[in-house]
Amino acid sequence: MNALGRHILVEFYDCSPELMNDVMHIENSMVAAAETAGATVINSTFHHFSPYGVSGVVVIQESHLAIHTWPEYGYAAVDLFTCGDSVNPWVSYNYLKEAFEAGHGSSMECRRGQLELLKRLDFNLESLRDVSPKPAEQLGTITRDIWFTERDENIALSLKHSGNQLYKKDSPYQRVEIYETLAYGNMLTLDGMVMCTQKDEYVYHEMITHVPIFSHPKAKRTLVIGGGDGGTVRELLRHEQLEEVTLVEIDELVIEACKLHLPETAVAFDNPRLNLLVQDGIKYINECADSQYDLIIIDSADPVGPGEGLFTAAFYKEVFRCLTPDGLMITQSESPRFNSAVFVEIYETYKQIFGQDKVHCYLAAIPTYPTGTWSFSYSSKGDSHPLVFDREAAAAFSQAQGLKYYNEDIHTAAFALPNFVKDLLNSNTNTNPDDYSAEPTH
């Protein structure tokens, strides 16, 4: 060959967009392409990015195979680099072209390390040899690293998963997926954004429910908009005082996926006090009679996709109408650090509708949400205040129910805001709620 290695630069065009966004298919195909060509695979590391695109590399004893995909163009850029002449990279090329359902491909081969230009060094190579013993169980094994990555232009969260995608379906509203992650258990994503994981979902669901219930002990009727994973209604139904909990979820696939693969979260769907409705939450609120609910929880996704309409002043005004005179509205209100502009606008809108002194922000630590700091809003139509609650009852409830996050001290501490959050909440006092419409951010 008269060179140390062969390097093929490959471009695949008119590939299946679906396959170009499927990290498991791409990882399996790249590993198989290497093995089919006779290479010895050492390691594979692949990332799936949000909203789409995959990057990865297969390290082989003879060098590597690397890829990045652009599903929106049906395009993949691939590097096939093999050392010596024992592996034919063109075998990998042909394998991948078929695996990716490429319409056509182009390529350029480079010979790397031309022997005519190299001079062997007078050096004791034995001093570089790795003579450390290798555990027998590691010999001949492949380390496979497959990652889900949620990112925007400024920040990213990566979670390693097993390569076993438990659920993947497209509804009329969004793509619903569940991955088996190594650190956080099964993870629900909607359109590539993390919604909840088995390991930390309790933080979100305990804080969005128990804070308002203990602040409004007379609440009997509760409405949840969104929350198809079931975690919010699970926590609400721990409270015997609630006579009825109505859950309105637009996407039945979210419910289906969570029943199958997040059973601890979706455990309360058969509770006789639950009224489950699969329909549009905005339409439901618009048609709801006045003063129907003591507590309304907006357990929405971020202001994009089917949840976008839940982040408008018109919607919140309808929620206000549906509350009893002393009713409460609770929402997830984004990350004050990550989505600062949306965070500020949301609270200004709430204040215009409920009153300046009737809206409160509280925080919780959720590791798999952007920045780890997440906010909730507490908006009171009447005179209830989140810090006026029965501490003894909250403490006894937390212990009796075996809660993992909420307790009487957390209830109080969550409303102690960092200075930067206070500054954000005081940064804009002249917003007209009719002008508010959140831009997609996360």
CB-based contacts of 193, cutoff 8 Å, min separation 6:
50, 150, 301, 302, 442
**174 in a known ligand binding site:** yes
Q: Which CATH number do you get for residue 109?
A: 3.60.90.10
- Integer angstrom CA distances of residue 85 from 10, 34, 176: 19, 14, 45
Kindly report the average pLDDT of the chain as a whole number: 90
Domain-embedded: residue 173 = no
Same domain, 246 and 383: yes
Does residue 236 share a domain with residue 99? no
Catalytic residue among 7, 47, 64, 68: 68
Q: What confidence tier does 141 reach under pLDDT thresholds 50, 70, 90?
A: low
| Residue 281 known to bind ligand | yes
The verdict on whether 83 is a catalytic residue reads yes
Amino acid at 61: Q
Q: Is residue 175 part of a domain?
A: no
The per-residue pLDDT for 153 is: 67
| Model-wide pTM > 0.75 | yes
Stretch 182-206: mean pLDDT: 95
Neighbours of 252 (CB within 10 A): 14
- The answer to whether position 152 is within a domain reads no
Under the banding of pLDDT at 50, 70 and 90, the label for residue 50 is confident
- pLDDT at residue 442 in the model: 40
- Hey, how many other C-beta atoms are within 10 angstroms of the C-beta on 346? 26
- Annotated active-site residue in 63, 333, 377, 380: 63
Q: State whether 320 and 420 are in the same domain.
A: yes
Does residue 196 register a pLDDT over 80? yes
User: 329 phi and psi, to 5 degrees?
Assistant: -115, 130
The reply to whether 210 belongs to the active site is no
Worst-scoring range by mean pLDDT, 11-20, 296-305, 404-413, 424-433? 424-433
Active site residue 299: yes
pLDDT at 203 over 60: yes
Give the domain range for residue 401.
201-435
Helix crossing, 313-322 with 340-354: angle to 10°?
40
Structure token pair of residue 102 = 């490429």
Tell me, what CATH number does 295's domain have? 3.40.50.150
Side-chain-side CA neighbours of 201 within 13 Å: the count stands at 26
Identify the CA nearest to 152 among candidates 50, 249, 294: 50
Answer yes or no: do 221 and 352 share one domain.
Answer: yes
Q: Does 111 lie in the same domain as 237?
A: no
357: annotated binding-site residue?
A: no
pLDDT, position 55: 95
Residues 85 and 215 in one domain: no
Are residues 225 and 349 both part of a single domain? Answer: yes
- Assess whether pLDDT exceeds 60 at residue 440: no
Laid out side by side, the sheet with 293-299 consists of 274-278, 244-249, 221-226, 293-299, 323-332, 373-380, 359-365
For residue 163, tell me if it sits in a domain: no
Contact residues for 377 (Cβ-Cβ < 8 A; gap 6+): 329, 330, 331, 332, 333, 346, 347, 350, 359, 360, 361
Type of residue found at 237? L
Residue 138 is predicted with a pLDDT of: 53
Has residue 156 been placed in a domain?
Answer: no
What integer pLDDT is reported at residue 431 of this predicted model? 41
158 band by pLDDT with thresholds 50, 70 and 90: confident
Answer yes or no: are the C-beta atoms of 114 and 2 closer than 8 Å.
yes
Residue 239 lies in a domain: yes
pLDDT tens track for 305-357: 444 555 689 999 999 999 999 999 999 999 999 888 889 999 999 999 999 99
Q: Does 111 share its domain with 227?
A: no
Q: 341 Cβ partners below 8 Å, 6+ apart?
A: 439, 441
Cα Rg of the chain (Å, integer) = 27
How many CA atoms, within 13 angstroms, populate the side-chain half-sphere of residue 156? 12
Least confident residue range of 1-5, 31-35, 65-69, 108-112: 1-5
Range with the lowest mean pLDDT among 227-241, 244-258, 422-436?
Answer: 422-436
* 145 known ligand binder: no
Asked if residue 18 belongs to a domain, the reply is yes
Over residues 65-98, the pLDDT tens digits come to 999 999 999 999 999 999 988 899 999 999 999 9
pLDDT at 130: 63
pLDDT at 375 over 80: yes
Is residue 306 marked as binding?
Answer: yes
From 104, 130, 146, the end of a domain falls on: 146
Strand 3-13 to 221-226 pairing: unpaired
The encoded tokens of residue 406 equal: 């909420």
* Same domain (yes/no): 267, 394: yes
Tell me whether residue 385 is in a domain: yes
Indicate the residue among 146, 168, 193 that finishes a domain. 146
Active-site option among 83, 258, 288, 361:
83
Rounded Cα gap, residues 67 and 30, in angstroms:
9
- State how many domains the chain has: 2
